[in-house]
Structure 1
Amino acid sequence: MAGCYLPVTVIETHDEHPPKDTPATSSPLRTCNRVDCTRRYDQITQLATHNAFAWADDGPVHYKKPNQMYPVWKQLDRGVRGLGLRPSPHFTLTDTDPHDVYVTHNTDLRGALGQEPLVNVLHQVRAFLENNPSEIVTIFAESSVSPEAVARSFEEANLTDYLYTHTPGTQWPALGAMVLVNQRLVVFNDSQDPNRPAWQHYLWDFVVDTDFNVSNSDQFSCGFYRGKASNDLYFINHFVYKDDAGILMPDPALAVRANQATVVYERAKDCWHRTKRNPNFVYIDWFGLGGALDAVDSLNELPRGTTP
């Protein structure tokens, strides 16, 4: 697939912007990420979006075969707390620029499905964190650039002060504790580069996920796919691909069924029962279709330490 690509027009700015800053409240914190702030990071279920940056084709970047219907800032504003990103080189018609970090959802296609600077996405994350001082955001990076290059984009977006670093083998903090020290951005990266900064946690040392090779929601499973079963966080891939001329692509029609609240809730609850692992993230396409967030809220009402 490496030689199959089309020219892509990249627009550097977004036509929609986060709302202006809202005044901070002086009242005691009660809710973080839609749950009680005393809950630990690893004790809750959060909704995450697959290829979160690749939103519908009326956006400022023409993403062919988009995964989402809203820009990142609106996903966050409406309740998403995990973002799947794919840091990549900047693909041009003749070469790649090793100094620019972009996002695109298939590096083999060299940006043919759409690409934009990673910092554009990170600016939206920073605005959300600034405007919502009791919220924690998690980024899952499937990266084809160096961790140092990724770090430069975070620095450019002025996100460094928000970064949380977890010590392996220790207990995850309560959400309120993360809020108190303002370390409200958790980053996982699948790069195994030994020079990876500590805040870019190696994804498969912390996360175990389910199979993502699904072309029919009847194929959803609960078994562990990548990462060790003992890893801290259980991640449920809950999106369905459509085979498009041999290339697996997202499809909103398939997401309508997959994202139904009852489908998400019953699958996650069944996986919890089967694996004895509390689902920490449910990873979807086409947030806004179906009721996945309602399902996540219902899951968070179930007691931890037991299986449903």
Structure 2
Amino acid sequence: MTENASAPRALRNPFGELTTRTRWLLTAFMAMLAVLVVSALVVSAWADRVLLDEDRFSARIASTLTQDEMNAYLTREVTDQVLARAPELIGVRPAIEAVLSEALRTRTAIVGARAALRGAHRAVRSGLAEESIAIDLDAVFTLAGALMQRGAPDIAERFEAGLDTTRIDASAVGLRTGLFAFLDHLTALEWPLAAVGVLLLGGTVAVAPTRRSGLLAMATALAAAGLAGLVGQRLAELWFVDQLPAREDARIAVTLAWRSMLREYQGWNAGLLAIGLAGIVGVAASGRLPDRDTVRDFLAGSVWGRTLAGVGLGVTGLAIARWPLDAVRVIVVAGGVVAAGGGVVIVLRNALAGLRGVRPADYWQRLRGSRLLAGVGLVTVALIAGLVGVWFARSFRAEPTPVEPAPITVCNGSELLCDRPLDEVTFPGTHNSMSAASERGWYFPAQRYGIAQQLRDGVRALLIDTYYGIPSPQGVLTVIDPEIRRPQLVAEHGEEVVAAAERIASQLSAEGEQEVYLCHSFCELGATPMGAALVDIRDYLDANPGEFLVVIVQDQTSPEDTIREFEVADLAQRAYAHPPGEPWPTLGELLDDGKQLLVLAEHDAGGADWYQPAFDVLQETALTATQADFACTPGRGDAANPLFLLNHWLPRRPALPSDALEVNAADVLLERARRCAADRGHVPNIVAVDFYDAGDLFTSVDALNGLPGEDEAPTATASPASPSN
């Protein structure tokens, strides 16, 4: 036997006869397929272990009940359901919310929620529920009713009477029978996907022109799969949240629920990304990367390369256009990763270049004079220089060029109102505007929604009350001045009520300093920081330069403190100061001059020319109306005053939406406004109501303004005649 015959035969690479270009194309194609397969494998594994497992699914969702965001959302949802069935309970909404919030955090609620979620999971997965699932909250209601029975049995009885329906629609979490069916099919392919993924990753190494380029392609595929999973999760989350109602608490709660289920998915993708990046850095540090010409030839000189570049640019462009802020964050993070990886590669390559052929015992001696320390220094200097450059760019960026504001052509929603003097315009208004059922902690509210929502809905006159309060763990404590405020409170509420409020305050521990709040008589029954309310007003006016508001302050605070709140909120310069005896400007003139507010104080004005005494310019109807007698009896203010406030609510407390639905109806409200206009010789300038969303406030005001499509109203006059009694 000859020597050549006895020598082992060398293995031949079956791809060796292919051209380098072809092998590059095959490597890229297999790497892209590997990204898709590995991504699908991660989704399949996550769905099999979390989403499709009813025990894990129910445990994850139920565990979020103890988190503040989910608790607040469910508390509000359940309370809304109760109040829809028993609207007379709206005055004690904070008590209902407090009890439900406590009940939802208990083990009873969590166990009940898990059982309900397991049943719902089975129903959706089996196709019994075609569109959505619902979570039964019978256990929560039972517990809440028991808690109420301890301290408020009368409320508990009405609470339980309002529970004809005890289910909450949970379709918002996005679970659909179709989704489960798709994931069932995908999980059945989990092991085949794993096998194909391994073959594709191995194939990138085998097909590549060199082993280094193959390892680099495999590492890049793993990193791309991890990154695609993380980015895809974020994009899906953004898209899904966009489909939800505009309520912020709903979006936060649903996002919280999904993230509780996506922990493993996120962790696995982050692991793939880390492994891939480590592989890329390792390969890059061990030798020369593909040169620029090779990459350019691949991207520009082949169908696959051009397709890859086009798809990448298209997806990137769509993502930037749809989610610009998130896209900027991704680009910045990617730039940081590339910079950090480049720095590590430079350091490692310098180290390897300086240590080739050196014995381990001589490493340190060689390192002292090698390029390693120079590389570390270079990276450090580059990072410092970059940070300094960013600081300079932020510090000395050019100021934006001022843009000339567009002329105001629509005033308070109508072109016709721009040419009308202020005293000939009717504004829809709310009584006790700050007292809202939607705001946390308000007992006996006069409105369903807070000031921000009122403005969005069309309210243009706000009647607010200011008081001094001190924050405490239990709420806000009213500061009662024994010489001035106490006699006023006694006259309005009686000695017994005031004494009870003083006893409550003495038993609570105040924390912090005295601040200005919007309250109704007693801040213990509801309080909103005045500054926060004014910021809501400012934000609305910023976004709507063609809107003008009237704010009437029933002030129990000093002019100096009230004015300071307006100044801090950047509203003082927008407030109009009316010269006594002068004709009123038109809405268009006011808005063109940057004036969007008329601020009137009921008790103690002064301190600023725009903070004006209300009843020097305002006349009103008396606050003695009954359901049987909505008369036009004069209240405060001289009959010759140029502005007319129609107080249109029943003075009993608590205010009830059912009453508002009746008295705000057009046949009551509009009829009274016209009757009082004829009686006073002046159309009302402000129509203030409770529960503005019930009845026909806005259509009645449109009719009083004589806007097209509405019944004509009496023409307003700037100099009203003396009223008849």
TM > 0.5: yes
* Aligned-partner Cα distance in 2 for 1:221–1:80: 24
One-letter amino acid of the structure 1 residue matched with residue 517 of structure 2: Y
1:70 corresponding residue in structure 2: 449
Q: Give the secondary structure class of the aligned counterpart of 2:595.
A: coil
2:556 corresponding residue in structure 1: 144
1:210 corresponding residue in structure 2: 621
Q: 1:164 to 1:233 in 2, by over 3 A?
A: same
How big is each residue's C-alpha offset from its partner over 1:259-295, in whole Å with a ceiling of 9 and x where there is no partner?
A: 1122111110011111212211111000100111100
The answer on whether the counterparts of 1:103 and 1:116 sit within 8 Å (CA) in structure 2 is yes
Q: 1:98 to 1:77 in 2, by over 3 A?
A: same
* 1:276 and 2:667 correspond: no
Q: 1:74 to 1:25 in 2, by over 3 A?
A: farther
* 1:90 and 2:469 correspond: yes
Q: Give the secondary structure class of the aligned counterpart of 2:645.
A: strand
Q: 1:276 to 1:62 in 2, by over 3 A?
A: same
1:200 corresponds, among 593, 611, 617, to 611
One-letter amino acid of the structure 2 residue matched with residue 100 of structure 1: E
How big is each residue's C-alpha offset from its partner over 1:129-188, in whole Å with a ceiling of 9 and x where there is no partner?
A: 111111101100001010110011111211122111111111110000001011111100
* Aligned-partner Cα distance in 2 for 1:24–1:72: 30
* Aligned-partner Cα distance in 2 for 1:291–1:144: 32
Matches within 5 A, 1:1-308: 26=406, 29-34=409-414, 35-56=416-437, 59-91=438-470, 92=477, 93=508, 99-106=514-521, 109=522, 111-192=523-604, 195-214=606-625, 216-242=626-652, 248-301=653-706, 302=713, 304=715
The answer on whether the counterparts of 2:683 and 2:704 sit within 8 Å (CA) in structure 1 is no
The answer on whether the counterparts of 1:240 and 1:251 sit within 8 Å (CA) in structure 2 is no
Q: 1:190 to 1:27 in 2, by over 3 A?
A: closer
One-letter amino acid of the structure 2 residue matched with residue 202 of structure 1: P
Give the CA deviation at 1:44: 1.2
Q: Give the secondary structure class of the aligned counterpart of 1:283.
A: strand
Q: Give the secondary structure class of the aligned counterpart of 1:277.
A: coil
The answer on whether the counterparts of 1:89 and 1:96 sit within 8 Å (CA) in structure 2 is no
Higher strand share: 1
* Aligned-partner Cα distance in 2 for 1:224–1:169: 22
Alignment gaps of 5+ in structure 2: 1-94, 96-246, 250-402, 471-476, 478-507, 707-712, 721-725
How big is each residue's C-alpha offset from its partner over 1:183-234, in whole Å with a ceiling of 9 and x where there is no partner?
A: 11110001235x43221110111111011123x3222111211111011111
One-letter amino acid of the structure 1 residue matched with residue 537 of structure 2: V
The answer on whether the counterparts of 1:261 and 1:293 sit within 8 Å (CA) in structure 2 is no
Give the CA deviation at 1:303: 5.4
* Aligned-partner Cα distance in 2 for 1:26–1:281: 28
How big is each residue's C-alpha offset from its partner over 1:41-62, in whole Å with a ceiling of 9 and x where there is no partner?
A: 1001111100101111xx3421
The answer on whether the counterparts of 1:84 and 1:139 sit within 8 Å (CA) in structure 2 is yes
Q: 1:90 to 1:28 in 2, by over 3 A?
A: closer
Output the TM-score relative to the length of structure 1.
Answer: 0.83
One-letter amino acid of the structure 2 residue matched with residue 102 of structure 1: Y
The answer on whether the counterparts of 1:122 and 1:157 sit within 8 Å (CA) in structure 2 is yes
- Higher RCO (C-alpha under 8 Å, 6+ residues apart): 1
One-letter amino acid of the structure 2 residue matched with residue 241 of structure 1: P
Q: 1:105 to 1:257 in 2, by over 3 A?
A: same
1:11 corresponding residue in structure 2: none
2:262 corresponding residue in structure 1: none
One-letter amino acid of the structure 1 residue matched with residue 656 of structure 2: D
* Aligned-partner Cα distance in 2 for 1:184–1:277: 23
Q: 1:16 to 1:231 in 2, by over 3 A?
A: farther
One-letter amino acid of the structure 2 residue matched with residue 237 of structure 1: N
1:5 corresponding residue in structure 2: none
Count the aligned residue pairs: 279
How big is each residue's C-alpha offset from its partner over 1:96-145, in whole Å with a ceiling of 9 and x where there is no partner?
A: 97741101011xx3x12111210111111101111111110110000101
| Segment of structure 1 superposing worse, 85-94 or 228-237 | 85-94
Alignment gaps of 5+ in structure 1: 1-7, 9-14, 18-22, 243-247
* Aligned-partner Cα distance in 2 for 1:24–1:81: 26
Output the TM-score relative to the length of structure 2.
Answer: 0.36
The answer on whether the counterparts of 1:89 and 1:98 sit within 8 Å (CA) in structure 2 is no
* Aligned-partner Cα distance in 2 for 1:219–1:196: 40
* Aligned-partner Cα distance in 2 for 1:153–1:231: 28
1:12 corresponding residue in structure 2: none
Q: Give the secondary structure class of the aligned counterpart of 1:36.
A: helix
Q: Give the secondary structure class of the aligned counterpart of 1:201.
A: strand
**Structure 1 vs Structure 2: percent identity of aligned residues?**
29
The answer on whether the counterparts of 1:43 and 1:278 sit within 8 Å (CA) in structure 2 is yes
| Segment of structure 1 superposing worse, 29-38 or 59-68 | 29-38
2:21 corresponding residue in structure 1: none
CA RMSD of aligned residues (A): 2.7
The answer on whether the counterparts of 1:90 and 1:97 sit within 8 Å (CA) in structure 2 is no
Higher helix share: 2
* Aligned-partner Cα distance in 1 for 2:628–2:511: 40
How big is each residue's C-alpha offset from its partner over 1:54-81, in whole Å with a ceiling of 9 and x where there is no partner?
A: 111xx34210000101111111111110
The answer on whether the counterparts of 1:81 and 1:137 sit within 8 Å (CA) in structure 2 is yes
One-letter amino acid of the structure 2 residue matched with residue 90 of structure 1: G
Give the CA deviation at 1:25: 8.4
* Aligned-partner Cα distance in 2 for 1:211–1:172: 25
Larger Rg: 2
The answer on whether the counterparts of 2:660 and 2:691 sit within 8 Å (CA) in structure 1 is yes
Give the CA deviation at 1:27: 6.6
